[in-house]
Structure 1
Amino acid sequence: MKLPALLRRRAEPAEVGGVARLDRRTKNLTKRLHPGEVAIIHHSDLDRVSAEALVASGAGVVVNAVRSVSGRYPNLGPSILLEAGIPLIDDVGEDVFTLVTEGDRLVVDGDRLLDTEGAVVVSGTLVTTDVLEEQLEQARAGLSDQIDAFTLNTMTYLREEKELLLEGVGVPEIRTKIDGRHVLIVVRGYNYRGDLDVLRPYISEYKPLLIGVDGGADALLEAGYKPNMIIGDMDSCSDAALQSGAELVVHAYRDGRAPGVERVESLGLSAVVFPVLGTSEDAAMLLADSYGARLLVAVGTHYSLVEFLDKGREGMASTFLTRLRVGSKLVDAKGVSRIYRSQVKGWHLALLVLSGVVALVTALAMTDVGGAVGDLLLARLRDLAYWIKELLT
């Protein structure tokens, strides 16, 4: 599959640059990145969600210490940066994190990163549309190996988590009442904003229990909703989300280690620990299903094979089995915003309001009271016109 022709026509960037921001974790970097700054990351197989976060943060340039396309699979992130017109310099090396300090002013010239005096700090590969297309073509050829690995991981997960999947063994005690309710599970994934917006009538009518998976809690807050429960590692959600009053469920490793508990306790909060081998979105679905949710509506969760691989976790195989476990209860809202748009236009509403006003005025005019009110309004309008005339003269 070829890249869009629009990308082919985009010219390579001339000299650009700005203040440098560095972080080995892209999601941490985007929280403090300002428009026009140089984002220096360490992100092999740059995924779509991270790329969209870089675009939303207004990155002027993205410099990656490693290859943004490793060749494992055709990941989606680099093409999103190019579509947004953001230059991408790849594989500049690990030294960039010692040679550049946060706040340094840098200039990007082609595939080189320069200091303010023009000295070369590091250099790499400028990812153009032709370069990216070649890399993705090679990555597509390696998809069969990834499918084999995905299958192996699926079988491993099934062996280790069969009691949880089949009988719900290991699900923690929670105070939130779920039985018989609709549950909306929000992951800050693909198209989550658009799908949440389209689901507003559903949320208003059915009042589902709202579960935010890590950063999905902030997505709910941004949309004007308060999460009832937050599940995850607690490394992607804000303090405001954690302190919103939602019940907190920390996703722990299978051996019981739960790094997220430390952050929760540092805020003076308490949390339930849920050890499960899969992802946090799997934990949310399994928890809701085990406690008798009537319907599960998922926003921003992963669905296709490429999306599973784009998540960058071998454990994404668990999501496949989790979906089999919850079965027909699950309704995936992914892409709803793409196939459904409200057909009500602004001028439709204006016309409706105008027709109502005309009908009201007509009805009043047909009565004695309406006539008296009309005469009074006309008198007041004449007084206003006379006052304005006197004021101007």
Structure 2
Amino acid sequence: MRLPTLRRSRPVALPGVVGVARLDPRTKNLTKRLRPGDIAIINHVDLDRVSAEALVAAQVAAVVNAAPSISGRYPNLGPGILMAAGIPLLDDVGAEVFAKVGEGDAVRVHGASLYRGHAEVAFGVEQTEETIAKATDDARSGLAIQLEAFAANTMEYLRRDRDLLLDGVGVPDVSTQMEGRHVLIVVRGYDYREDLVALKSYIREYRPVLIGVDGGADALLEARLKPDIIVGDMDSVSDTALRCGAELIVHAYRDGRAPGADRLDRLGLESRVFAATGTSEDIAMLLADSKGAALIVAVGTHLSLVEFLDKGRSGAASMFLTRLRVGGKLVDAKGVSRLYRSRIQTWQIVMLLVAGLLAFLVALAATPAGQAWLEVVGIRWNDLVFWIRGLVT
């Protein structure tokens, strides 16, 4: 008697998005080790544009946020960027998720839940294009309140750092000469890659002083440019960039504490300290201005009020006063790329080549050897003409 053949049943695929969990409360640190298909678990109130673009660039399968991605303070830009890229966003699941999920666990996002295996480990809000659009519209009404807070932070910054803003007190000495030169400040922020590509001709012709603000130094190296100065708290710049030979300026707190200096000491690198309340891109601009830069071109920096708020910290108020201090020297990279035209035109290059060729022929004709060579060329030319005529007739 023949026994029936047993068939193995295929496992039923569970619904949702499956991936390996990568966790870090600081999105900036997490994006450095994300791989395509990972599920990023973050704790980021008001997800900003730069962080969202970094998550998209890492090609994550989904994002789980322990905090609200849109708190309603202002219409932040990050969640919309994730939606536009087709990346699911599970929002406001609570900080307990960091205790329930470990680095490297296989997890699944489905609807408003996060699963590890079949067990639900977190529950939050499933964001969609509709929910994000509504939350963004609601947040616009909060701009007036944020504007008041922004103004208050600006006045506090002016009170603390008025000597720096008005008289340049506390700016460290640097060996790189900036007097009368153009200075290009690169922040790894909005559209920095596109801006650097658009500025290649400008950089090649004017050879500006290159200042990288933290990760902006790596952005310069990616564009095959060597920074002259690196400014920042040194938490998001690579060891390779720090060792490239640039001058290092550590951004310190107003009380003199400089956590980034410890890292440079461990690497055996010399540095100078710049104590200021504002952001690292602010002190880079103040450094260039105080050292006599003729023009400051900014790449990846913040320009509008929403972008200032999208920076996500009260210190962003310092950007407003810094730009007032720098004044007409400051130009956004997009403006330079649109207005700049190379001083050497194509027709000038063609005329130079023609003039060089004529000079070469005249020099040949002035020597016996050149005359003989021109005679041979003339004979070959006549042969070519007769051959072409023969083909035609």
CA distance in 1, matches of 2:331, 2:340: 19
- Separation in 2, partners of 1:318, 1:40: 31
C-alpha distance in 2 between matches for 1:254 and 1:148: 24
Does residue 303 of structure 1 match 2:319?
Answer: no
Offset of 1:15 from its aligned partner? 1.2
Deviation by residue 1:228-277 (Cα, 9 ceiling, x = unmatched):
00000101111111111110000000110000001111111111000011
TM-score, normalised via structure 1 length: 0.83
| Alpha-carbon spacing, 1:194–1:285, altered in 2? closer, same or farther (3 Å) | same
Aligned to 1:100: 101
* Pair 1:214–1:33, CA change in 2 (3 A): same
Q: Deviations 1:157-211 (Å, cap 9, x if unpaired)? A: 1122111111111111222221121100001111111111111111000000000
> Aligned pair in 2 of structure 1 residues 144, 287: CA closer, same or farther (>3 Å)?
same
Correspondence for 1:111: 112
Corresponding position: 1:29 with 2:30: yes
Q: Counterpart amino acid of 1:252?
A: A
Q: Could you tell me which amino acid in structure 1 is paired with residue 252 of structure 2?
A: A
The equivalent residue for 1:6 is none
Residue 42 (structure 2) aligns with: 41
CA RMSD for the aligned pairs?
2.4
1:120 aligns to what?
Answer: 120
* Cα distance in structure 2, aligned partners of 1:199 and 1:240: 24
Q: Which runs of 5+ in 1 are unaligned?
A: 1-12, 343-351, 353-362, 375-393
* CA drift at 1:130: 1.2
Indicate the residue corresponding to 2:279 in structure 1. 279
Query: Secondary structure at the residue paired with 2:328?
Result: helix
Task: For residue 258 of structure 2, give the secondary structure of its aligned residue in structure 1.
Answer: coil
Q: C-alpha distance in 2, partners of 1:60/1:242?
A: 32
Q: Does the CA-based 8 Å contact 1:79-1:132 persist in structure 2? A: yes
Q: Secondary structure at the match of 1:40?
A: strand
Asked whether 1:264 is paired with 2:264, we answer yes
Does the residue aligned with 1:161 lie in a helix, a strand or coil?
helix
Residues in 2 aligned to 1:56 and 1:136: alpha-carbon distance in whole angstroms: 23
Deviation sequence 1:277-301 (CA, Å, 0-9, x none): 1110110010111111111111111
Show the counterpart of 1:175: 175
Compared with structure 1, are the counterparts of its residues 53 and 336 closer, same or farther at alpha carbon in structure 2 (3 Å cutoff)? farther
Shift of 1:109: 1.3
Percent identity, aligned pairs only? 63
Residue 86 of structure 1 aligns with which residue? Answer: 87
Q: In structure 2, what residue type is equivalent to 1:37?
A: D
User: Is 1:228 aligned to residue 228 of structure 2?
Assistant: yes
User: Given that residues 191 and 335 in structure 1 are in contact (C-alpha distance below 8 angstroms), is that contact kept between their aligned partners in structure 2?
Assistant: no
Following the alignment from structure 1 to structure 2, what is the Cα–Cα distance between the partners of residues 271 and 43? Answer: 32
Q: 2:72–2:136: 8 Å Cα contact kept in structure 1?
A: yes
Q: How many residues align?
A: 342
- Partner amino acid, structure 2, of 1:106: V
Aligned partner of 1:243 in structure 2 is 243
Structure 2 distance, partners of 1:315, 1:149, is 11
Give distance in 2, aligned partners of 1:240 and 1:195.
Answer: 23
Q: Does 1:290 align with 2:301?
A: no
Q: Is the 8 A contact 2:202 2:340 kept in 1?
A: no
The alignment partner of 2:145 has SS state of helix
Counterpart for residue 63 of structure 1: 64
Note the C-alpha offset of 1:119: 1.2
Matching residue of 2:158: 158
Structure 1 residues 256 and 373: alpha-carbon distance in aligned structure 2, compared to 1, 3 A threshold = farther
Q: Secondary structure at the match of 1:285?
A: helix
**CA deviation vs aligned residue, 1:77-129 (integer Å, no higher than 9, x gap):** 0000000000000011111101000000011111111112x111111111001
**In structure 1, C-alpha distance between the alignment counterparts of 2:68 and 2:330, rounded to whole Å:** 36
Q: Which has the larger radius of gyration?
A: 2
8 Å CA contact 1:66–1:90 kept in 2: the answer is yes
Q: Do the aligned partners of 1:191 and 1:334 also contact (CA within 8 Å) in 2?
A: no
Shift of 1:68: 0.4
Structure-2 separation of matches of 1:308 and 1:255: 24
In structure 2, distance between residues paired with 1:299 and 1:307: 14
Cα distance in 2 for partners of 1:26, 1:370 equals 70
What is the deviation of 1:367?
Answer: 3.7
Alignment gaps of 5+ in structure 2: 1-13, 342-349, 351-373, 386-393
Using the alignment, how far apart are the partners of 1:226 and 1:142 within structure 2?
42
Corresponding residue SS for 2:20: strand
Q: CA deviation at 1:366?
A: 7.8
Q: Which residue of 1 aligns with 2:201?
A: 201
Q: Which residue of 1 aligns with 2:353?
A: none
